[in-house]
Structure formats: C-alpha cells, structure tokens
Amino acid sequence: MSQLAKLHFRSQGVVRMPVVVRIPFGGGIGAVEHHSESPESFFAHIGGLKVVACSNPGDAYWMIQQAIASDDPIVFFEPKRRYWEKGEVDPTATPPPLFTTKVVRPGRTLTLVSYGPLVRTCLEAATAAAADGHDIEVIDLRALSPLDLGPVVASVRRTGRLVVAAEAPSESSISSEVAARVQEAAFHSLEAPVLRVTGFDTPYPPSRCEEDYLPDLDRVLDAVDRSMAW
C-alpha cells in the first residue's frame, strides 16, 4: 500500500495509479472484533494515499464513481452498518467534488462534525437537541485525506462550538486532527473547548460489548450539553 501511494507523486504524474481499495469498516452489526474496527487513521497517515468515507446511499453512488475516475490511489471506506439503508439517488444530478466536506444540516449554535457511520447518529442528535433549543449544524467530512476543513472552520467561527464524533479511538485519529486544526484556525471564535466523542483507546471489544464501546446518541447529546454549558 505504501508503494502504491508513492508512484504517482514520485513520477510527477507520469505514472498514473487509478486504484480504488474498498474497505468495509465500523461496528454495530455484531461482527467479530477484527471486522468492526475503524482503521482509517492508519491509511490517512500514508503520504500520497487518499482516503474517503461515504455516509449515505447518495454519496455512496457518486463517490465510488468519482474514486474510480481518479488517477490517484484511493481507499474507499464503507460503513458496514449503513449497507442496508435506502435513499433517493438522482443519477442525472451533478455531485460535489470528491474531496469536499458537506454541510448536511445547517445550524447556528454548535457545529457537530462526523463521517461514515456516525453522520446519521449526529443528524438524529441534532433533531433531539432541537427540543432543548439547540440549533446544531451537522457536517459530513466525506474525505479524510486530504481533509477539507474550510467549511468546518467557517461554521465554528459562526457557532463558537465544535463537537467531533467518530467510531475510531481518540488517540492519533481523524478526530484529533480535526480538533487541532480547527483550534489553530478559529481559536478566538471558540466559546468552549473542542470536544470529541469517540471509541475508547482499547482493542475493539467482543460483539456483545460493542454497544458500550461505540459512540451513540446519548454520548453525542452529552457532549453537546457539556459544550453548551461551558
């Protein structure tokens, strides 16, 4: 994988690497532990390798085609627990560029960022929090390497608060990178510390215990409440 990631760059584009590696990831389906991990940070650390993750049927339809059309090697992460979801897809629409972040729910009081399987959970959290008067903006990263954090920074400058949610452990992760870079770019706009809701820094547990490991609606709402109370 490391060699695959380098050839296009080192040949200055002469040698193309139109390779897509599909990887199902994430838990929530009762699989054995090695089949439920979230190893996206491992691949995002490889220079020259691009990493994306879809979160819904529409993005899955378009992003896989865009990845195949790319001249760069791309790791395409597919959230296993969302395989059976259905959604409307317009094959005549013009999709956004592959390596771009998308605001999936606008809001004014807090920015909630995620990707892959937890985007739906974050949308559910935003709906639940609305009952308490919280107007949450939900952002789907979609691309994990390179990260498109422009929309996230712009959102935080408006809301003053950021919560990042991901199934992967918190240490050396996509969530820690997002938190660090947004803090650097929008420090003076923050009215509360950047909070993260993640898996724990342990090996993935047996399937009977995964509900205690995975971030869920309650853990996301707890982070929202802690941020708003700061």
Catalogue the active-site residues: 35
DSSP state letter for 100: -
DSSP state letter for 64: H
Distance CA 104, CA 162 (A): 15
Residue of 105, 141, 143, 108 lying closest to 124 (CA atoms): 105
Residue of 75, 81, 80, 138 lying closest to 111 (CA atoms): 138
Distance CA 88, CA 107 (A): 24
Q: C-alpha 35: how far from its chain's center?
A: 19
Residue 52 near residue 20 (C-beta atoms within 8 A): no
What does R_g of the chain's alpha carbons equal in angstroms?
17
Signed CA dihedral, 173, 72, 112, 30: sign only: negative
Query: Which residues are within 8 A (CB) of 223 and not within 5 positions of it... i.e. 6 or more apart?
Result: 163, 165, 195, 196, 197
